[in-house]
Chain A
């Protein structure tokens, strides 16, 4: 067909633009029956020294360990001792209770903003368990489980949320944008995706120095569309960086379903194939599968066998943040229909199946978690809530722009102090 053939042009179909839409909107009855959920234990576990291509089938599969009856099955079973599992369950429960308390604190006007990770607790908590305490994380805003699991004081987290005197970031960051060097937790950015190449750079530095510590970068399904995702993947493979790159696919980026990041065409784990990176797709609501996958990728990175992209397939059970109402764009009951279940319920069921847990102990755990979180909140509130902040110590606002205060910032500080007194 040539350009000079206007008749042929006229007969060509009109081009159409595909704008992805989620299958269900408010008022619809969600139905996940067409979602392929492979049985637990069905996926092979390659050696941690395997060539990346041996993992490629796993990018379109789903690594699952816990079966319907709560038993751990298959090659990926990390065979953890009951104490380790109980510790994970405890941390996940703490995270959930903490989220509920802080959500409520925001609703009570004690802070401006909060983000829960309900339904995703297993991902950060089991990851922390599977990695070394001094490995470095470049998280997003839904990995509070890393801090909890590494023993970061709950009071300090809350002080950050309240921007009060106990906030070591001096009230400069939005609530939940934690940072703690001591706990290997890099400062969270609100600019999505930026932390991904940063994780790769940290891992490159560790390799340059002949260190043994590895890094892990975190991103959500939505932000994989950012250029930073591509540059991180490229640098990680080019330099064989000792890094794990996680995509937490909770299927929702505020109101945009994962199709807007390309999920209608391929899994997020399958992005690894094009870069020649090892890739795994994992049931993110299965703590043991998460643990096993991260352990596998850690071993791989630590032995110079290269980076791994892991997609944690999960579901964002609640709103994006306290500023979001998901009933405006998805069916209200969708979270309850999600076929991969609740990560806490599944791990609890597993411990019970092992004979290592029962309802009584679980109730006691929840009660204890609740008491612990309440006590932490009481401590934190002694140091103030957000509405009381921002009036004292105004000069601190002008510190840390640079190591030294330049003349222009000093002049502005003096003016701000005058305004505050006036």
Chain B
């Protein structure tokens, strides 16, 4: 057992799977010798050789396209898209090829691969390094979508994703790579080392895909969230004195609907908290599911906390980011009467 931040946990997941399975290959922009701009692949090339972990041209379409060919050959590619904001040149390959290969060939060809990509704001990355495009992938049949919120889950989920027979888009909330973020940007960052979730086994283990985690049990309100917002939401509930059940979804597809349903039926209230833009986002899907399945248990309309329907504005980072204020207003509204 070691203390790890999310980067170290993700790095460890690579090492464990690469050592166990010679078919796992890792490539992407700057991931080889340098070890990635966030250092997630550091040391892999040294340890496993230059044909197991290597740099790719700046071509997300080429990275995903060649990964399809490698998966067809029988390898298990784990590719890094440097920022989720850069994933769009690879979108056609992901949507039209990766996602549908099992279906269109009736499982003659399958695409066991992981597309890792850092996403989300709170790092002054401006509109090209801050986006949360997960809904563009949850909308595509055939993809699994995973978003960890802490080091232990990051390693266990990534190993599970690499070992999964289906393609997984693995979004990493880069704001919390080095420490959890409660939304108070004016306060000093707490490192992961102080948290229990930073205790990460060195060896192989998995966190199964499709299982949410109840971060905090509560009686008054169910909060459905994932990624960075798990920490923002948990802090806000506490600060506002709401006895909230905080559910970290961890996997958006397949979704742990049983945990969601049980919690909302217990609390009678639901708040969905995401970073992404509001309209047609994954929050909308969650609200709909709760409405369809728990309507007669609800004591108040389901509320959403989201980013605004604007591109991510650099200088207005903290007016854009769904932080403590937006949380407070939403909690007040969903808890009223």
Contact = CB atoms under 8 A, between A and B. Distances in A.
A228 B61 contact: yes
How many chain A residues sit at the interface, stated as a range, is 35 or more
Nearest to B51: A208
A402 B142 contact: yes
B284 interface: no
Contacts of B105: 169, 173, 179, 187
A232 B65 contact: yes
A194 interface: yes
A231 B72 contact: no
A172 B106 contact: yes
Contacts of B77: 201
Interface in A176-198: 177, 179-181, 186-187, 189, 191, 194, 196-198
B62 A235 contact: yes
Given A227-B61, A400-B103, A408-B255, A200 B109 contact: no
Contact of B69 (A138, A209, A408): A138
Most A CB within 10 A of own CB, among B25, B52, B61, B102 = B61
B73 A206 contact: yes
A406 interface: yes
A203 interface: yes
A215 B65 CA distance: 14
Interface of A: 136, 138, 168-170, 172-173, 177, 179-181, 186-187, 189, 191, 194, 196-209, 215, 227-228, 230-232, 234-235, 238, 399-403, 406-409
B65 A228 contact: yes
Contacts of B255: 408
A170 B93 contact: no
Contact of B108 (A179, A189, A191, A235): A179
Given A181-B109, A191-B96, A197 B104 contact: no
Contacts of B66: 197-198, 200-201, 204, 231, 235
B178 interface: no
A186 B73 CA distance: 10
A400 B75 contact: no
A191 B104 CA distance: 13
Contact of B93 (A187, A194, A204): A194
A215 B69 contact: yes
How many chain B residues sit at the interface, stated as a range, is 35 or more
Given A228-B61, A231-B62, A234-B62, A169 B104 contact: yes
Contact of B70 (A191, A205, A399, A406): A205
B3 interface: no
Contacts of A408: 254-255, 257
B51 A201 contact: no
B107 interface: yes
A204 B92 contact: no
B256 to A, nearest CB: 9
Contacts of B75: 205, 208-209
A124 B112 CA distance: 30
A117 B254 CA distance: 42
A113 to B, nearest CB: 15
12 contacts: A187-B101, A200-B69, A201-B68, A208-B70, A208-B75, A228-B62, A228-B92, A235-B57, A400-B107, A402-B142, A402-B166, A403-B110
B59 interface: yes
Contact of B254 (A136, A172, A407): A407
B311 interface: no
Contacts of B144: 402
B141 interface: yes
Nearest to A403: B165
B164 to A, nearest CB: 8
Contacts of B254: 402, 406-408
A204 B79 CA distance: 14
Nearest to A168: B106
B142 A199 contact: no
User: Which 6 residue pairs are nearest across A and B when measured between Cβ atoms?
Assistant: A201-B69, A197-B65, A231-B62, A201-B66, A205-B73, A202-B69
A77 B336 CA distance: 86
B224 interface: no
A36 B106 CA distance: 47
B197 interface: no
Given A238-B57, A402-B142, A407-B254, A169 B73 contact: no
Contacts of A406: 210, 253-254
Contacts of B198: none
B69 A203 contact: yes
A218 to B, nearest CB: 13
B73 A202 contact: yes
